[in-house]
A and B are shown apart, each in its own frame.
Chain A
Amino acid sequence: MDINQIKIKVEGVNFYYGSKQALRDIALDIYKNKVTAIIGPSGCGKSTFIRLFNRMNDLIPGARFEGKILIDGNNIYDPKLDVVDLRRSVGMVFQKPNPFPKSIYENVAYGLSINGIRDKGYIADKVDKSLKDAALYSEVKNRLSDNALALSGGQQQRLCIARALAVEPEVLLMDEPASALDPTATLKIEELIHELKKKYTIIIVTHNMQQAARISDYTAFFMMGELIEYDITSKIFTKPSKKITEDYITGRFG
């Protein structure tokens, strides 16, 4: 029974921006090759939470972390850990598509070249493969040297996914990846996520309740920095165990 293999364990996590506490005593397990959705009203700490997994919050001056996060049993907040290795194995896709002002090819190749890979043939293969995995290849294969900013918003976001995939991560973090996209582009991203979970463990923040219900296997509901409820998605959306969860998912506030 390895359907529910634990990939990430979060234990007793508190997080502070200066003196302001943004996350309070969070504990949960994230399962391998599943999509875990993080939902909750804005400002409840969803982005803060998801940015803990690749230590993106380290870049914020005055921020402080307490607790433990284990990926495959290794504490990623161990002072001896190499953050570069961590970020290679935990990719991230941001809310607004943020391709570099470089060519499509260079965008995808970026992660490889900064990680010291020089083999041109290998890089070229990897770029093609990542673009295919991100369901973008057929649309850009004839113009890989065009500037990435010439792509549409939805294409840019899939390019960012390809850029993240190129360094072969195991976990993929997505912070409201479709919130800046139109419905068609959103649908494409959702289909893509469904494909990607075969290979990756995905944690996705979403503002959109229907989206969480459509694409995720597990759902965590946050409010004011606390984890209110965490369960199988179908359970959260049909018979949540807390009244406040029900109020939120039925749109009584938010």
Chain B
Amino acid sequence: MDFSLSTEQKEIFEVARKFAIKEMLPKAAEFDESAIFPREIIDKAWELGFTNTCIPSEYGGNGFSLLDAVTIGEALSYGCMGMYTSIMCNDLALSPIVIGGSAEQKEKFLRPFTEKPLLASFCLTEPSHGSDAAGIQSRIKEDGDDYILNGEKMWITNAGHADLLIVYCTIDPSLKHKGITAIVVPADLDGITVGKKENKMGQNCSDTCGIRFENVRVPKENVLGAVGEGWAIAMKTLDHSRPLVSTIALGGSVRAMDCSIDYANERKQFGIPISKHQSIQFMIADMAQKIEASRLLIQKAAWLSDNNLDSTLIASAAKAFTADSCMQITTDAVQIYGGYGYSREYPVEKLMRDAKLIQIYEGTSQIQRLVISRKVLGK
């Protein structure tokens, strides 16, 4: 057993960390306050090879393992959780093509992402179907060589800027998950309307919108795998993307702990730095434990996936544990800052707002427990 990263992974982490500290961190507060989409940062990140980590080298990608990808994810999320949500969104959106696409589909849809900084969105959630994703209502109907797509999606990350949409829909809602189909939809097709950007609690720079599909004509050849295979593709995608999303929590947690340590050493009350008060020390000790455990769960989930072993349980455990830990850690960071922590002049209240989302998207913390309990109870 070996817990160390490879020399290249260490170098990748260092360069990603440098990028996060020099390019992302200084803009995090302003981009949050004014809800500015981090287009320039995404483009620079693409330039350096931090995006689209899931694209295999045969199609122009860097051929990264998931362990490489989570190493990048932790480093970048340290700079800004919201920016990284928008950066990693392509991995979530393109994974279904990597997992379920044919060689021609991969060549056609993935390669352009390695040639230009394009964006893709993963469109699963609907206004009335979130956790209960198998019940989605967006529908395709056969029409000659095409399918006609109708429906509505909600909470779609990067939707306002996406070039390509990976849409989950059903051929017949009564079939439940057996009817679910994943289809690749270029965002400029007729009949697609992107709603206004949601006004969120946190991760404000990241773009989130609803999308409406009205009689959108999509060629049949854009279906990934076959009609009815969408659910299996979505589940495999989540095994891959949950460790990555977990790195958002991990990077944010490390940042919150660093801020807490600096502040606790500087701030004096009762004549001594507050870091000399045991209750503050213990809060920071709890942060350190949770961060260490978060990283190990993420790395294990990634390692299982890289070795084609069943990673569902550990990926869900990583997602729930890192998200819940990040919520606790960022809340404690605000506590350590006291009144200053509650002010937007200081960095930690943003971390707390950003953290909340991680307990919700990519399967809520409750849904992760559902997945885990089914696995361990053998149901």
Q: Bound pair: A and B? A: no
Q: Which residues of B contact A (CB under 8 A)?
A: none
